[in-house]
Amino acid sequence: MVSSVGIVGYGHFGTFLHELAGRFFPSVTIKIYSRRAEIDNRTFYSLIDTASCDVVILCGAIKEYEEQLKTVLAVAPEETIIVDVATVKKYTSELCKQYCVNRRFFSTHPMFGPESYKKHGGNVAGFRIVVTDYVLQNDQYLLLKNTFATLGFVIIEMTADEHDKRLAETLFLTHYVGQSILKAGFERTSIDTLSFQFLMDAVESVKDDKALFQDVYQFNPYCSVVAKRLHEAQEVVYQELQ
């Protein structure tokens, strides 16, 4: 039975997880460690206190994941379950396998964020959570899976490599197009078509994630292929217009 959860890193997604945890698991003690927050022992705690929880969720930037994982493991009890929620999976899953020797870990990617949560009015029915790797007893994993399914989430199991390939062609592609539209300075107008409104919805959902966009490109090898493929297609379309 999980009675306490630690969140390490309190950026865009860590803040969102804190909100979700308070809503869906009100009886669970939540402890947060953030280098930018002052310890008050009510919301924000020391790294040692946070890492001593039953479950610790790593919410740092992908480029900081290895150092964050090693730092947490150095002070966390052996029975603590480490949860990886990074947007890329092959890179962070391999880190968990490398460093979580004789420890339990859970490598997953929630396929949603605060923007989609707001747009759905807080309704999480159908929101997908991908699971790529884990070291848990089977009954523990089934309990975790059933708990989230009961809340309305859909659990999808696949390999880390398959996840990264699909993510490059979906989420990263959305980010790529969104960042391009922002750079070009396109905005909503008074005569927007429905399709343009959908396009701008996508742009606005990723506009604040520039650092994540860069990290995903760096740590997911499939992203460079997708970026080149789209760039070449845009050149062809442009030339056809001429």
Give the model confidence (pLDDT) of 122-169 as tens digits. 999 999 999 999 999 999 999 999 999 999 999 999 999 999 999 999
- 45-102 pLDDT tens trace: 999 999 999 999 999 999 999 999 999 999 999 999 999 999 999 999 999 999 999 9
Q: How far apart are CA 20 and CA 26, in angstroms?
A: 9
Q: Name the strand (E) or helix (H) holding 155.
A: strand 154-157
* Residue in the block written with tokens 């391999």: 94
Domain boundaries in the chain? Answer: 4-159, 169-241
Superfamily of segment(s) 4-159:
NAD(P)-binding Rossmann-like Domain (3.40.50.720)
Sign of the CA dihedral with 45 first, then 49, 53, and 59 last = positive
